[in-house]
Structure 1
């Protein structure tokens, strides 16, 4: 095996360059799985504590209001988990979960305004999820079985 120091340096530089280039490619970026050492019941309690909070485009704070991804980001942050700010980027997290296997705390995504993950909420249980809705103007709980949400359901991540 060749232990030439200059060859090792060149290889290390190439690896750093490759990692930097891949880090800048949004579509191919695979982020870390969501940590399941958090308590799903506590997560849902935090989310439910914001029921009725106002909707605010670009909002991510209870004092001013939330948009959908600002809401999910804030709830998870309260439990020590940092999510990306946009629903599209949150959809890149973790692993895909079939609808039949949803459990409390999973992120549920919808294709509403644009192609792809344009809306996100937090699954509660028995087909219910919590989200910040521009239509309802507030954080609220809805049913995945509602025809509107069924038609726009994109998938879930854990």
Structure 2
């Protein structure tokens, strides 16, 4: 027997979902998931400023937040905001303190912690979700536009939530030109099929060519920079490269200094499209401070700083000309 939902017949495989979900709910040890479109992960519960209120709610208001900040305000996030995570990502709760929880973002590699990138978030922005965990075996809809909307209705008229590029949600049902996807705590929502690509799981994402990485990166031309950003609402330099590769099924470290130690070393004279190029203080001999993606002809695409947007530059004619440190290749 199949279940009927908003005029569609759901696969019979979901008919037993309620019973299985109840079984998962009876467990005392199930996973936590990001329950806002973009989760900002802070250095401490004291790190956020008054102006950061739109990023501390549920739901968050990422556009309102970023558009309200000046370049100086954005620079004020340095040392206070550590990274971001996307709707539906799994996190591990490490510690609780009042209304805050210290978490590890499991999909972001870092030597700081084996469990994932650590930091503090308001508890109301994460959720324990036995049903969402149950559906992790389902096909996944991955957002391919810079942002996309979830809808309450199958006619795609009533907007529910704007979510970011690379958000991945379980597919409950595939209709004509639309999908029904599960959310961590708000039931099922509809999304336009044109805004996503459906994969059986991350391992089935096709291995990209360098041109695929470049085309994905170019979607974000002129997007304002955001320190610690990893979403279609704003990237920092390493959040940009991490997310572009992640969208194509390649999980590289979160931070530039760690990206510069992974992959395969490449000589500057042998750069190919898709390679990551790194820049450091003291004429390239000091600590790494920036990363971009090489796109050929001596050029890179990158998210530079709080005064700028995602752009393409000729490296030799840019402010980075004298600070090249090294390059790494992550494509076979």
Q: Give me the TM-score of the superposition, normalised by structure 1.
A: 0.72
- Of the three residues 255, 272, 279, the one matched with 1:110 is 279
Q: 1:53-68 alignment to 2 at 5 Å?
A: 53-63=223-233, 65-68=234-237
Task: Give the equivalent residue in structure 2 for 1:42.
Answer: 212
Comparing both chains, which one has the higher relative contact order based on Cα–Cα distances under 8 Å and sequence gaps of 6 or more?
Answer: 1
Is 1:143 paired with 2:314?
yes
Q: For residues 126-156 of structure 1, give each alpha carbon's deviation from its aligned partner in whole angstroms, at most 9, with x where no partner exists.
A: 0010000116521111111125322111111
Aligned counterparts of 1:136 and 1:44: Cα–Cα separation in 2:
23
Q: SS in structure 1 opposite 2:240?
A: helix
Q: Give me the TM-score of the superposition, normalised by structure 2.
A: 0.35
Q: Which runs of 5+ in 1 are unaligned?
A: 1-25, 27-36
Which has more radius of gyration?
2
Task: Give the equivalent residue in structure 1 for 2:98.
Answer: none
135-144 or 43-52: bigger deviation: 135-144
Q: For residues 86-122 of structure 1, give each alpha carbon's deviation from its aligned partner in whole angstroms, at most 9, with x where no partner exists.
A: 1001001122211111011000000149932210010
Q: SS in structure 2 opposite 1:110?
A: strand
More strand by share: 2
- Of the three residues 238, 249, 260, the one matched with 1:91 is 260
Aligned counterparts of 1:56 and 1:85: Cα–Cα separation in 2:
15
Q: SS in structure 1 opposite 2:295?
A: strand
- Contact preservation (8 Å) 1:112, 1:119: no
